[in-house]
Structure 1
Amino acid sequence: MNLSPNSRRCAVILLAASAAFIAYAQSKLPADLDPQSRARLPYLKSSEVDAKGKKVVDIFGKGGTVTGPLAFATYNPAVGQALLDLHDAAVTGGTLDPYTRELAILVACRETNYNLEWNGHEASGLKAGIDAKLIDLVRKRGPLTGLNEKDATVIRLGRQMLTDKKVDSVTFAKAVQLWGKRGTMDMVAAMNTYAVSGFFAIAVDEHAQEGKPELPAVK
């Protein structure tokens, strides 16, 4: 196929623009990040994980590499397995209803800037009945004015525990009133299992996968 001079010039310009865009997108990642994991460590190969992490590999090792929320914890296979057990006990085996549990998880992900699980649980939260406006409030760390007491208490507890590093007496007492002692501790456990994975992501500077949004920077 013969192209006119104008068409050839347009094609060259488009190719150059495309290359420039790709280079710009890649340049936004810090130089010490692995291009596949988009973190400071590469994903482990499934074959590199010993028997202590077999269950983690069975769940997250599809395609020959260990990805997902336990990708970096599993550099110590026993730790990856322990965090999986913690998740199962705190989330699957907890007493919280799906709405409260998903809201607690979203708060934990927001307070640790944990993009991977936020992007996964935003859809789960909507499915559990959380209003999109409330999810956006959590994302932007907006004020709690006007929220019902349950939503406000979940968000306040997570913010105080994970960001302020101090839960006040009023917040804790309200949580116990609403969910009981066991329910409150289940909420703390659910938040912490996601926060721990978030701390691994912080340590390795894990960025959201290409095409997935990053949580906005907030004060």
Structure 2
Amino acid sequence: MPHPQDIDPHSGCRLPLPSRDALGEAGQAAWDRANRPGTLAGLRGPAGLQLHSPETSPHLAALNIYLRQAAGFAPRVREVAILATAREMDSQFEWATHEAEALRVGVPSEVVEAIRHGRALDGLPDEDVLIIDLARQLWRTHRVSADTYAQLHARFGTRQMLELVVLMGTYANTAAMLALVDMQVPPEFPGRLPELAR
């Protein structure tokens, strides 16, 4: 499927990628971080967008690294939270870049499909249900029930419960940035989200 006319072919969005040489020291460091092997999307994604605001980039990158690697979330918890947020934000790019990672770290395909299609969560693992319910409450009603709060606090404790919401919030923030610039999903990421009736 061809991209809309306002999409830059190199960046995959409405904003062109700045050249590394045109960036200052902070921007060049951000460019190097985004372009290193092992990143999920490299420069064609949120990290490439952040090059347009090099002062915020190291702060966002540090928060992302902390939440993804040092906050102590099991990889499965992290990826369920990311997928649930991507689904609620209808973020095709975030979904596509994290679906395979979620499966790789052990999120069962039936959990992935329940999130993708907004299905009922009956019969799924309790921890996954709790995280998905949290995302649905946060992003649909902007409230969290007392029961969900109590379950989250019992399972994760105060710090990790709060940091789980920070993780989800950072992905909601990223989804908003991606929507602004109409970030296209690279063809090497096949996963897509269907439209949900809401």
Does the alignment reach a TM-score above 0.5? yes
Determine what percentage of the aligned residue pairs are the same residue.
28
Residues 114, 120 of structure 2: 8 Å contact kept? yes
Say which of 74, 82, 86 aligns to 2:51. Answer: 74
CA distance in 2, matches of 1:74, 1:111: 26
| Secondary structure, aligned partner of 2:72 | coil
User: Any conservation in 1 of the 2:6–2:14 contact (CA below 8 Å)?
Assistant: yes
Question: Structure 2 counterpart of 1:95, which letter?
Answer: G
TM-score by length of 2: 0.86
**RMSD across aligned C-alpha pairs, in angstroms?**
2.0
Aligned to 1:55: 29
2:39 aligns with none
1:49 Cα deviation after fit: 2.6
AA in 2 matched with 1:92? Q
* Secondary structure of residue in 1 paired with 2:13: coil
> Would you say how many aligned residue pairs link Structure 1 and Structure 2?
191
For the residue of structure 2 that corresponds to 1:77, the secondary structure is coil
The answer to whether the aligner puts 1:217 opposite 2:195 as a matched pair is: yes
User: Residues 59 and 170 (structure 1 numbering): CA distance in 2 closer, same or farther, change over 3 Å?
Assistant: same
Matched AA of 1:145: D
Q: Is the 8 A contact 1:46 1:61 kept in 2?
A: no
1:133-172 → structure 2 map (5 Å cutoff):
133-172=110-149
The SS at the match of 1:40 is coil
Which deviates more from structure 2 when the two are superposed, residues 78-87 or residues 112-121?
112-121
Q: Which of the two has higher C-alpha Rg?
A: 1
CA change 1:96–1:34 in 2 (3 A) is same
Deviations for 1:97-139, whole angstroms, at most 9, x for unmatched residues? 1211111111122222223332232222112211111111111
Distance of aligned partners of 1:155 and 1:38 in 2 relative to their CA distance in 1, 3 Å threshold: same
**For 2:63 and 2:91, how far apart are their aligned partners in 1?**
18
Q: CA distance change for structure 1 residues 126 and 210 in 2, over 3 Å: closer, same or farther?
A: closer
Q: Which residue of 2 aligns with 1:33?
A: 7
2:98 equivalent in structure 1: 121
More helix by share: 1
- C-alpha separation between the residues in 1 aligned to 2:145 and 2:167? 19
Give 2:154's match in structure 1, choosing from 177, 187, 199: 177
Q: Report the CA distance between 1:211 and its aligned residue.
A: 5.0
| Structure 2: runs of 5 or more not aligned | 37-41
Amino acid in the other structure paired with 1:59: R
| Structure 1 partner of 2:20 | 46
